[in-house]
């Protein structure tokens, strides 16, 4: 397959990644969302489930064969080694699935939505640009509590397991500021889209 210009989108929980990627999709950019791939891999009959059951035990599988997400979330955020073990199972499968999607995608360039882009360490070399969606940590907490009905402590635990805001910004080639709300996103996305179209011509 000929080289494709690729952009990775990341950001902390509640930063607004999904809102940004939807706007790029509306402009005709194919977006491959690794969160969606992870859900498919851990759905009933998902390719990751045999390895997860072998590593963690049958109590982490629901009656329908899907991952018990609430139980796994509690385990992963309580124990660093459990989180790392889960990532070692999922990350290679996600990368393989993402590559399959990329080969089938058509568009001016490819965009990957990767919540753990900075943390994983192995995505950066596959991307031409890293785009970080940013807002304050206080806004992240407020938005996730409202959206997911999580407690403040639950949100803080998730954020503690993610890269810091500073680490994400340090890894970014481009930043979209989502501190002012969704009405300020389309103009920023449009500007970056034009830049990426120009950069894609050089690949």
Taking CA 123 as the corner, what is the angle to CA 121 and CA 127, rounded to the nearest 5 degrees?
135
Which is it for the CA torsion 36, 42, 47, 51, positive or negative?
positive
Other C-beta atoms closer than 10 Å to the C-beta of 48 total: 21
Query: Domains in the chain: how many in total?
Result: 2
Alpha-carbon dihedral of residues 194, 171, 103, 29, nearest 10 degrees? -30
Give 70: exposed, middle or buried? Use CB within 10 Å, 0-12, 13-18, 19+.
exposed
pTM of the model: 0.89
Burial 111-132 (b: 16+ CB within 10 A, else e): bbbbbbbbbbeebeeebbbbbb
200, two tokens: 């894609």
Could you tell me if 118 and 203 lie in one domain?
yes
Pairing of strands 31-33, 110-113: parallel
| Among 104, 134, 158, residue at a domain's last position | 104
Could you tell me if 176 and 148 lie in one domain?
yes
Burial 4-17 (b: 16+ CB within 10 A, else e): bbbbbbbbbbbbbb
- Nearest Cα to 191, choosing from 143, 113, 131? 131
Estimate the share of the chain in helix, then strand, then coil, as percent rounded to the nearest 5: 60, 10, 30
Could you tell me if 188 and 164 lie in one domain?
yes
| Among 75, 104, 133, residue at a domain's last position | 104
Mean pLDDT by 10 residues, the chain (203 residues): 84 94 97 96 97 97 96 86 92 93 94 91 89 96 92 89 93 95 94 98 91
Could you tell me if 71 and 150 lie in one domain?
no
Residue 129: give the domain boundaries.
Answer: 1-30+108-203
| Among 84, 104, 124, residue at a domain's last position | 104
Pairing of strands 129-134, 174-177: parallel
CB 116 within 8 A of CB 38: no
Could you tell me if 170 and 123 lie in one domain?
yes
Phi-psi region of 68 (alpha: psi -120 to 50; beta: other; left: phi over 0): beta
Could you tell me if 99 and 193 lie in one domain?
no
């Amino acid at each position: 397959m000929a080289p494709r210009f690729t952009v990775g989108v990341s950001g902390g929980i509640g930063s607004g990644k999904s809102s940004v990627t939807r706007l790029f999709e509306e402009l005709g950019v194919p977006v491959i969302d690794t969160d969606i791939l992870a859900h498919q891999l851990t759905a009933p009959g998902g390719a990751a489930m045999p390895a997860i059951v072998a590593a963690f035990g049958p109590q982490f599988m629901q009656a329908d064969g899907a991952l018990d997400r609430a139980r796994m979330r509690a385990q992963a955020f309580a124990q660093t080694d459990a989180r790392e073990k889960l990532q070692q199972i999922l990350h290679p499968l996600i990368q393989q699935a993402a590559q399959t999607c990329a080969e089938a995608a058509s568009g001016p360039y490819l965009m990957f939505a990767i919540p753990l882009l900075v943390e994983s360490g192995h995505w950066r070399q596959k991307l031409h640009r890293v785009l970080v969606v940013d807002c304050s940590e206080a806004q992240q907490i407020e938005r996730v509590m409202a959206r997911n009905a999580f407690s403040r402590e639950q949100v803080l635990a998730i954020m503690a397991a993610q890269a810091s805001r500073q680490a994400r910004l340090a890894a970014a080639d481009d930043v979209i500021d989502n501190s002012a709300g969704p009405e300020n996103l389309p103009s920023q996305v449009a500007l970056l889209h034009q830049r990426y179209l120009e950069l894609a011509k050089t690949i």
